Structure 1
Amino acid sequence: MSIGLVVRDLRKRFGATEIIKGASLEIAAGERHAVIGPNGAGKSTFFHLISGLLTPDSGTIELDGHNIAGLAPHVINRLGLSRSFQVTSLFARMSVFENLRNAAMRSAGAGLCFWRAAGTYAALNARAEQMLDVIGLVARRDVPAGALAYAEQRALEIGLAVASGARIVLLDEPTAGMSHAETDRAVALIRRVTETATLVMIEHDLGVVFDLADRITVLADGQVIATGRPDAVRADTAVRAAYLGTAADAFA
């Protein structure tokens, strides 16, 4: 089994408050892994550290054996890790197709080039068209991203994370704010687009977590209190205690 992402003794402090307190995690290549925990557990900070938005105070983050801790987000992306955000982050005035084409530029070999129009790259356009079909937005191809319905924007954001060709995809609450029907479609989409990638996701909907994840890591107060297969995590007494008064019934 090859290892895709390894986090060792990660720590992050804001002033006098330590948010991440020596968290460690190991994710196999091709795995679907969920990070869960009560509000304030440090999940988003943990993702920010892995993706380069924040620099850890100490610890290592290894991507394919290379320490990426402290590297800039664009450098980490080029090394094969991409992510989405809780709050949708799109080019609102660009069309769905143009958003996907921008995300696909690196994987299609189209770097920064002021003297050549993006539309002249056949491979780039083909990748964007492929992603349109995968995320089910072919009919919305030329619609500005800002005019999409909320669930469509979330689908596009997932598409952007995958279009870059990243081997590891981080999704931050991909089904937040969705109806049951929209959540079902989002789960099917996530399953489809991560067939050839490693998935790491933060998700509050425990039904989604237990449906999608091969393994689950539970954060509480900035520390990993459990990691394992869904059935083992569901039965863990420390996990159940962490969720008392919030979502403990989901573990019943």
Structure 2
Amino acid sequence: MASQLEIDSVIKSYDDRTQILTDIYLKCETGDIIGMLGRNGSGKTTLMKILFGTLYAERKFIRIDGKVYDCPYKTNDVLCYLPQHEFLPKHLKIEKVVQLYLGQTSVESFFYDQTLNQLRKSKVGSLSGGELRYFEIKLLLSTDSKFVLLDEPFNGCSPVLIGSIMALIVEAPKTKGIILTDHDYRNVFDVANRYCLIFDGGIRWIKDKHELVRWGYVPATKS
């Protein structure tokens, strides 16, 4: 039976005046890869932080498998989050990070990966931006968390690494639900199996690229 994540009735304002999210409802089930689109400042990152539990909202209601959570990040194996910024200690070797996150028994299988095997003794701070992003994403997808939030996972990556990251996401176990954002809608449509657009503080579900034109997200000539 699929696990289910729901966030409902979200209201978030800044400066007590500007309401960025208005009565948002979003549901993600294990097996879903939801691509979330929206212009800069539309509230994509804000919604992810509220869902993770690290950002206050005037109103929110979060349920995972029917259980209500205020701060999901405080509960093991429920939800993990890839922020846009680096989040791993730069002084640690990546092999040590894997051990801390996944346990010693998972280290060898984690490095059955041509991209990472040659870097396993390297420190986090010595990795290039693209290498670090790939490592962070594989690490979070390898945890026991049922749901994973990926905020701009392709940012700063070469086309080759973007392809490798997409493969990681698509090959993630069907026991996970994934919500991701990206500024390039083409990346989102290449990897996700459901799509939504944050527009005027609400969520609009998108069936195809033509609907992005209808909502004014992309020009008609580039649809």
2:196 paired residue number: 217
Structure 2: 5+ residue runs without aligned partners?
Answer: none
> Contact (CA 8 Å) 2:82, 2:149: kept in 1 or not?
yes
> Contact (CA 8 Å) 1:128, 1:163: kept in 2 or not?
no
Identity of aligned residues (%): 25
> Contact (CA 8 Å) 1:234, 1:240: kept in 2 or not?
no
Tell me which moved more, 11-20 or 93-102. 11-20
Tell me which moved more, 130-139 or 182-191. 130-139
1:240 paired residue number: 214
Opposite residue 208 of structure 1, the aligned amino acid is: N
Kindly indicate whether residue 9 of structure 2 is the aligned counterpart of residue 4 of structure 1.
no
Distance 2:118 2:165 in 1: 17
Between the two proteins, the alignment pairs up a number of residues equal to: 222
Distance 2:174 2:93 in 1: 26
Kindly indicate whether residue 160 of structure 2 is the aligned counterpart of residue 181 of structure 1.
yes
TM-score by length of 2: 0.90
Check 1:28–1:151 CA distance in 2 against 1; reply closer, same or farther (3 A cut).
Answer: same
> Contact (CA 8 Å) 2:81, 2:148: kept in 1 or not?
yes
Check 1:6–1:127 CA distance in 2 against 1; reply closer, same or farther (3 A cut).
Answer: same
Deviations 1:61-101 (A, max 9, x none): 11121122x326333xx151111111121111101111112
1:109 paired residue number: none
Opposite residue 234 of structure 1, the aligned amino acid is: K
Name which of 190, 196, 215 aligns with 2:169.
190
2:187 paired residue number: 208
Correspondences of 1:103-182 after superposition (within 5 Å): 103-104=101-102, 124-133=103-112, 136-182=115-161
Kindly indicate whether residue 85 of structure 2 is the aligned counterpart of residue 87 of structure 1.
yes
Check 1:56–1:129 CA distance in 2 against 1; reply closer, same or farther (3 A cut).
Answer: farther
Higher relative contact order (CA 8 A, sep 6+): 2
The CA deviation at 1:44 is 0.3
> Contact (CA 8 Å) 1:100, 1:163: kept in 2 or not?
no
Check 1:133–1:83 CA distance in 2 against 1; reply closer, same or farther (3 A cut).
Answer: farther
> Contact (CA 8 Å) 2:37, 2:198: kept in 1 or not?
yes
Distance 1:66 1:134 in 2: 36
Kindly indicate whether residue 57 of structure 2 is the aligned counterpart of residue 56 of structure 1.
yes
CA RMSD after TM alignment: 2.1
The CA deviation at 1:174 is 0.4
Kindly indicate whether residue 102 of structure 2 is the aligned counterpart of residue 100 of structure 1.
no
The CA deviation at 1:134 is 5.0
Deviations 1:99-141 (A, max 9, x none): 112222xxxxxxxxxxxxxxxxxxx212133223258311111
Opposite residue 210 of structure 2, the aligned amino acid is: A
1:67 paired residue number: 68
SS in 2 for 1:137: helix
More helix by share: 1
Deviations 1:195-242 (A, max 9, x none): 441111111222221111111111023211x214xxx242326x6333
TM-score by length of 1: 0.80
Distance 1:31 1:74 in 2: 23
